[in-house]
Amino acid sequence: MKNKLFLIGFLVFVTHLSFAQLKSGYDKFEAMELLKVNFRFADSTAWDSMPGPERFELKYRSKTVGFDNKWDYWEDKAGVGVLSLRGTTGTFSSWGANFYAGMVPAKGWIKIGEKDTFNYELSKDPKALVHVGWTTALGCIWKDIDSLLFAQIDQGKKEFYITGHSQGGAIAYLLTAHLLIMKENGFIPADVQFKTYCSAAPKPGNLYFAYYYEKMTQAGWAYNTVNSLDWVPESPFSVQTVNDFNTVNPFKNAKKAIKKLPLIPRIVVKHMYNKLNRPTKKSQRQFEKYLGRKVGKLMTKNLKGFEPPQLAHSTDFTRCGNFIVLYPDTEYYQKFPQDPKVIFGNHMLEPYLLLLEKLPE
């Protein structure tokens, strides 16, 4: 009897291994294949001129919604799925989503349309903040993703890649966080596994969003592949003020501490403190005003029924997650001369593939 139970258990274990496709850790071949998936959002007339994915087949393409957002579902022969998010297009609404760079709490709701409210939770840290434009973009495609993804899970699918390039990478960050929090909350089965490959993704939120995201993915389940010459991962603009630090910090009671100094040192230190503190706060207010509230009003013209949410008083964007940095060499500079007029020269498929191929296996 014991031998039979052992045999059954062993067979179940082997069967599970035979179907398990996702493994933790960065795999450059996975990254290259998913990068090719990302660039399939290009016009189909250009497909023959660029390398296409070999492992995955396109199963579903969404309608264009929101801020010119779109997503694909791909799948391989083993049934491993790919949720691919489109990056920035040439439209005003797509670029508007990038420049709509105010911050909102990582847990809340956004009224996407007259009858559509996006309830989201992207972090369990109450100090976590995220980019409002890309969070709204995720809300625009969420119902469609939710419907298809859970249909796949109900059919027994357990493994999914999440991927996006550029703006698509920023939204992929947020989608990953949303799904992992749903998993923590018990809305997604514990045995469903997600693995994320962003590339050229910009900064999606503040440091506290990054902390919790990294906590959820630090075992090797999420990466951002970045060309060190690509300017997109350096965006959006970031301003850190004394209000962006943890609750316990030496700056919180700086004014009280300064008042305790003798007269002359107090005057000098107070003057220095104000010279350093006031410009950052003023800059933060300006970014919030123009890239937050004013752009938000413009975006209501591109999304019927959209109501810009209340913004947090912060613009402290930071890089997030595990980074795989691609450093150009002599061959790269020869093939891609650094022309200031070609602003996306280091951002596209060909330069990323060239550098990825040079990574050790």
Establish if 5 belongs to a structural domain: no
Tokens describing residue 258 = 């300064």
Q: What is the DSSP letter of 290?
A: I
Top pLDDT among 179 and 19 is at 179
Q: Is residue 53 scored above 90 in pLDDT?
A: yes
- In this prediction, residue 18 has a pLDDT band, given cuts at 50, 70 and 90, of very low
Alpha helices (H) along 288-329: 295-299
- pLDDT at residue number 272: 67
- In this prediction, residue 21 has a pLDDT band, given cuts at 50, 70 and 90, of confident
- pLDDT at residue number 12: 37
Establish if 203 belongs to a structural domain: yes
Q: Is residue 234 scored above 90 in pLDDT?
A: yes
What is the pLDDT averaged over residues 67-89? 97
Closest listed residue to residue 67, CA positions, set 118, 146, 138: 138
Establish if 11 belongs to a structural domain: no
- In this prediction, residue 248 has a pLDDT band, given cuts at 50, 70 and 90, of confident
- pLDDT at residue number 17: 37
Reported pTM: 0.90
Establish if 245 belongs to a structural domain: yes
What single-letter amino acid sits at 331?
E
- pLDDT at residue number 257: 65
- pLDDT at residue number 269: 55
The number of distinct structural domains making up the chain is: 1
H or E element that contains 262: none
Question: How far is the C-alpha of 361 from the C-alpha of 348, rounded, in Å?
Answer: 22
CB atoms closer than 10 angstroms to residue 326:
23
Q: Convert the pLDDT of each residue in 109-132 to its tens digit.
A: 999 998 999 999 999 999 999 999
Question: Which of 29-33, 89-93, 274-278, 315-319 has the weakest average pLDDT?
Answer: 274-278
Token look-up 């810009």 returns 308
Q: What is the DSSP letter of 191?
A: T
- In this prediction, residue 1 has a pLDDT band, given cuts at 50, 70 and 90, of very low
What is the pLDDT averaged over residues 244-259? 74
Question: How far is the C-alpha of 75 from the C-alpha of 160, rounded, in Å?
Answer: 9
Q: What is the 3-state secondary structure (H, E, C) of 326-340?
A: ECCCHHHHHHCCCCC
What is the pLDDT averaged over residues 235-252? 86
- In this prediction, residue 349 has a pLDDT band, given cuts at 50, 70 and 90, of very high
Q: Convert the pLDDT of each residue in 253-263 to its tens digit.
A: 667 766 766 77
Determine contact, residues 170/164, Cβ cutoff 8 Å: yes
What is the pLDDT averaged over residues 284-292? 95
Determine contact, residues 68/62, Cβ cutoff 8 Å: no
Can you tell me whether residue 14 is helix, strand or coil? Answer: helix
What is the pLDDT averaged over residues 149-174? 98
Domain that residue 352 falls in:
26-357
Determine contact, residues 214/241, Cβ cutoff 8 Å: no
- In this prediction, residue 245 has a pLDDT band, given cuts at 50, 70 and 90, of confident
Question: How far is the C-alpha of 230 from the C-alpha of 345, rounded, in Å?
Answer: 8
Distance of CA 184 to the CA centre of its chain: 19
Establish if 187 belongs to a structural domain: yes
> How far, in Å, are 53, 105, 209, 313 from residue 216 at the CA level?
28, 18, 11, 26
Domain with residue 52: its CATH number is 3.40.50.1820
- In this prediction, residue 277 has a pLDDT band, given cuts at 50, 70 and 90, of confident
Q: Is residue 27 scored above 80 in pLDDT?
A: yes
- pLDDT at residue number 13: 36
Q: Convert the pLDDT of each residue in 183-197 to its tens digit.
A: 999 999 999 999 999
DSSP 81-114: EEEEE----SSHHHHHHHH---EEESEEEEEEET
Distance of CA 187 to the CA centre of its chain: 21
- pLDDT at residue number 146: 98
Establish if 139 belongs to a structural domain: yes
Q: Is residue 7 scored above 70 in pLDDT?
A: no
Closest listed residue to residue 200, CA positions, set 101, 83, 326: 326
> How far, in Å, are 57, 161, 181, 311, 331 from residue 138 at the CA level?
23, 17, 15, 17, 38
H or E element that contains 160: strand 159-165
